[in-house]
Amino acid sequence: MINKNRVKTVLRKNVWEVELSSLPRWKIWLTKLLRVLYVLTRDLLEGQLTLKAMSLVYTTLLALVPLLAVSFSVLKGFGVHNQIEPLLLNFLKPMGERGVEVTSRLIGFVDSVKAGVLGSVGFALLLYTVISLIQKIERACNDTWHVNRSRPLSQKFSDYLSVILIGPVLVFSALGITASVMSTAVVQKLVAIKVFGSLMELATKLVPYLLVIAAFTFVYIFVPNTRVRFRSALTGGLVAGVLWEASGWGFASFVVKSAKYTAIYSGFAILIMFMIWLYLSWLIVLVGASVAYYHQHPESVTAYRRELRLSNRMQEKLALLVMFLVGNNYYDNLPALTLEEFAQSFNVPTEALEPIMEALEGHGLLTQTASEPPTYLPARPLDTTGLKDVLDAVRGANEMVDIKPQSESAELAVDQLVDHLDQATARALRGSTLKDLSLSKPSPVTLVSQSSQKVDPSSGEG
């Protein structure tokens, strides 16, 4: 029997406590891989990823036919609506003959959807069902990336419509262009040459895998409401693509050996198989998103899950640092910073800094620009904004006014003490403004925006 404590000790000593700089390159890569596998396994065992996948399965069942109906209507205008069925067959290929039956039923449902019969209210509900699916996918990816803010309503409207209306056209146009190029005379002549023919045959076999990886990479870049680096998204796409193909083979074997499930569940067996495949598909999407997140944020790959609990002192310090950088860049005519750039400059996780930014915004000290990702600017004149306003913003953030602790014996004395401390702070900071803080010298190294040249902290330049 395996001793769990002994396994944990070995992992801690050989994976987490080892100094990476003392290892050869291949061992560094292997250790990082083991660490990521450990945190992914931990995330799966904790159940959050599986719970989100289950939720997405339910929403997909409700929205799949409306989504296909909208895509069918759009593609019909371009004359490529007949390509939906082969795409569905390819997606449900691991289900074998049951996949063919599910595809025919879905296409039958789509054909029976008529906008004239639905009416304006019915069509609006159909569109809402599709949008709710995309919104839930975005929310799941945002949770993976620890992003608490969703897109603004206007941006949601434009982005979601782009996915619903333009996305299918681009996908099938790419497939059509690929097929056209492969059928040209030049390509056919190259295929006739033995060397090029072998390479072309290999490329043809690789194209489906590359398209799957490209699709996952696009999702990881586009869906989360944060800036995802291409390299991180591609890493997540590669992992998800490999898992997708591997699970397809495994699920196909499972379907072949599942005759007893048909005997037990009868006509419901097809639906159950379809739901299981949907669940595996969404779980793969979320695992790939987690890989992309950990690749971009290696500081989150830790042996124990960290609960970010900042002391009041640290929250006040971070708030003052944020306002210092905002003011410093404002007076030096430097570009405004994004949330990720603030986090990088302070070497803190973005999820620790985000509530502080929200508190400063809620207090009217900061405002976001309309750029993507948004940057932060002063919301009021810095020369008339006192430093105590910054402290008040974080001290009073998320304060529940309906909770009023009462104690007849100590309430008056405690209230007097709290007021005394507040007045002492006000006296100490009287006359000190954000402008004074921003122009104070010496100043720390200011991080410029991603569009400008950044200073490498390890280079010693500043």
At 187-208, the pLDDT tens digits run 556 556 666 556 666 666 677 7
- Whole-angstrom Cα distance, residue 174 to residue 214? 12
Residue 337 DSSP one-character state: E
User: What is the rounded distance in angstroms from the CA atom of residue 16 to the CA atom of residue 293?
Assistant: 19
Q: List the structure tokens of 320.
A: 């003052």
Q: Is 375 helix (H, G, I), strand (E, B) or coil?
A: strand
Rank 90-94, 112-116, 287-291, 449-453 by mean pLDDT and report only the highest.
287-291
Pair 271, 316 in one domain:
no
Host domain of residue 381:
312-398+409-459
pLDDT exceeds 70 at position 324:
yes
Pair (318, 429) in one structural domain: yes
Assigned domain for 102 exists: yes
Q: For residues 52 and 155, give the distance between their C-alpha atoms in angstroms, rounded to a whole number.
A: 24
Highest mean pLDDT among 7-16, 118-127, 411-420 belongs to 411-420
Lowest-confidence segment of 108-122, 161-175, 307-321, 436-450 by average pLDDT: 436-450
Mean local confidence (pLDDT), 92-116: 73
Q: Which of 276, 300, 324 is the last residue of a domain?
A: 300
- Is 188 in the same domain as 150? yes
Tell whether 199 and 285 lie within a shared domain. yes
Instruction: Determine the Cα–Cα distance for residues 188 and 195; give it in Å rounded to an integer.
Output: 13
- Confidence label for 409 from pLDDT (cuts 50, 70 and 90): low
**Which residue, 249, 280, 300, sits at the end of a domain?**
300
Domain count, the chain: 3
For residue 373, say if its preceding peptide bond is cis, omega within 30 degrees of 0.
yes
* Same domain flag for 37 and 160: no
Domain shared by 99 and 112, yes or no: yes
Same domain assignment for residues 39 and 55? no
* Residue 254 in this model has a pLDDT that exceeds 50: yes
**Residue 91 tokens, joined:** 């997606």
Does the residue 65 lie in any domain?
yes
Single-letter amino acid, residue 64: L
Helices assigned H by DSSP within 145-184: 153-161, 167-182
pLDDT greater than 60 at residue 161: yes
Report the distance separating Cα 112 and Cα 407, nearest Å: 68
Mean pLDDT of 114-133: 68
* DSSP-derived secondary structure letter, 382: G
Strand partners, 145: none
Residue 231 reports pLDDT greater than 90:
yes
**Structural domain contains residue 1:** no
**Res 108: pLDDT:** 77
68 in a structural domain: yes
Residue 93: φ, ψ to 5°: -55, -40
Same domain, 40 and 53: no
The reply to whether 113 and 216 lie within a common domain is yes
Residue 211 has pLDDT above 50, yes or no: yes
Cα 31 to chain centroid distance, Å, stands at: 25
302 vs 262: CA distance, rounded Å:
44
86, 170: one domain: yes
Assess if residue 246 is contained within a domain: yes
Q: Domain containing 429 — which CATH number?
A: 1.10.10.10
> What's the CA angle centered on 207, arms 205 and 208, to 5 degrees?
90
Torsion angle defined by CA atoms of residues 136, 138, 140 and 145, in that order, rounded to the nearest 10 degrees: -160
Read off the pTM: 0.69
Shared domain for 394 and 261, answered yes or no, is no
- The answer to whether position 369 is within a domain reads yes
Q: What is the pLDDT of residue 247?
A: 86
Question: Looking at the domain assignment, is residue 36 inside a domain?
Answer: yes
Q: How far apart are CA 165 and CA 130, in angstroms?
A: 11
Instruction: Assess if residue 306 is contained within a domain.
Output: no
Specify the pLDDT at position 438: 80
Whether 80 and 37 share a structural domain: no
